[in-house]
Amino acid sequence: MDIQEVAEIWQKVKQELSESISESSMMWVEPLEPIGFENNCFTLLSGHSLAVNLLTKNNREDFLTAFKKIFGKDVEFEILLDENLAKKIKKEKERQAKRAQKDEENKISNLSQMQSFSNLNLKYKFENFVVGSNNEFAQAAAMAVAKNPAPAKKGYNPLFIYGASGLGKTHLMQAIGHYILFNSPKLRVKYIKTEDFTNDLTDNLRKGGDINERMNRFRQKYRNVDVLLLDDIQFIESKERTMEEVFHTFDSLYNKNKQIVITSDRKPEDIPSLPERLSSRFSCGLVVDLMPPEYETRLAILKNLADNVEVKFSNEVLELIAKNFKKNVRELEGAFNKICAYATIKELEPNIETTKHVLKLEEKKKTIHLTDIVNKVCDEYKVTEEDLKSSARSQSITIPRQIAIYLIREILNLSYEEIAEYFNKKHPTMLYGYEQIKQKIRVDNELKSKIKKLKTEIKK
């Protein structure tokens, strides 16, 4: 039987084997080379000693059955180890490993070079984002965008991620950027905070010289990209010129099928003074939210942090921290870093007592009620609770009402709906009142000091 006939028979035998043995075994079968059929024995060569042992020991009956079906009679077979073939395979593996290592090094080098343009922080990756019930949908959406930015159907474009401060919006957004840069290095990614975008715009408008040329460069910086990551979009409110530039930047990228990812501390429709044309565009893709982490997720985050420090943390200590810091991930990490720094300086392993002392967990926290805050504001501004709940719009009533709303939101973290229920008003009014004070304290130091004083006295 000539070698051509042997090869044809082997192809038929392989087809029979593929229907009777596992995929893992077929991985060893595929590279086998048929070399002859003599004295009723079919001979095969392998470059893997492991394949010889596995196939002859675990799949002998499968081979015999397949050969009998093709030949119409019982046929023996043997698999021999070919040293030359083994050496050839080994060399090829080494070459592949070197190529893979070089590709990896090139990717890392390219990633580093692109950092300055993309403006990303290397610590924010999917690998160290702890997923829980509070964020699993948002994480899945972010990963889908990272793997397939701006697909033709535009279902996830833009991706709008919202949630309170410290819950991981920036982490997820930058993880998208890193994933794309590492896996699709030809794509251009740009991350920018809305406040920095505004400052960049203002600088270009104020400088002397040819303003048209400067503005053209400014626009190209944000429009000549494949992925734009725009963080903290809520800071766009009331900034007419910024809103105009964001609108045109959005349309330019969206119409070119470029991916846009936006984060905010609230939904598009809840951002005061945001024009309908922007709100509708921000909402036209996928809007996902991040909630405060549950206990299990907080504990997983702490264990992940503990795995990356030299200080040894017991489960009891991590559980204590997880139970007491519930507001957001940033607060949780801050508590962990504080006890970690203390343990490092003191050269000790943190225990329950140490942790309680350092994090001041032994102090009984005062329970603050909504009425405590309202009464404090009423005393300060010489108004009554009925005044604040009334429909009066004079400044003497409006200002303390808005301050009360702001303090309730800041101290108790109640929803606008809950605050509105107390004041017998609609929740957009509560949102507006909160934002008014938030903006005023940025420029009014006297008001800022007064609110800080009120907050301190309420918490005493």
295-358 classified as CATH 1.10.8.60: yes
| Residue range(s) in the chain whose domain bears CATH number 3.40.50.300 | 126-289
What is d(CA 192, CA 222) in angstroms, rounded to the nearest whole number?
9
Q: For domain 126-289, give the CATH number.
A: 3.40.50.300
Comparing CA positions, the residue from 366, 367, 384 lying closest to residue 375 is 384
Comparing CA positions, the residue from 335, 311, 307, 306 lying closest to residue 322 is 335
Q: What is the pTM of this model?
A: 0.56
pLDDT at residue 408 in the model: 93
| Residue range(s) in the chain whose domain bears CATH number 1.10.1750.10 | 370-459
- Tell me the residue length of the chain: 460
pLDDT at residue 367 in the model: 77
pLDDT at residue 417 in the model: 87
| Residue range(s) in the chain whose domain bears CATH number 3.30.300.180 | 3-81
What is d(CA 146, CA 163) in angstroms, rounded to the nearest whole number?
20
Low-confidence residues of the chain: pLDDT under 50: 364
pLDDT at residue 139 in the model: 92
CA atoms within 13 A on the CB side of 327: 13
pLDDT at residue 294 in the model: 84
Q: Who contacts 8 (Cβ-Cβ below 8 Å, separation ≥6)?
A: none
pLDDT at residue 362 in the model: 65
HEC per residue, 217-237: HHHHHHHCCCEEEEECHHHHC
3-81 classified as CATH 3.30.300.180: yes
Q: For domain 370-459, give the CATH number.
A: 1.10.1750.10
| Residue range(s) in the chain whose domain bears CATH number 1.10.8.60 | 295-358
What is d(CA 213, CA 204) in angstroms, rounded to the nearest whole number?
10
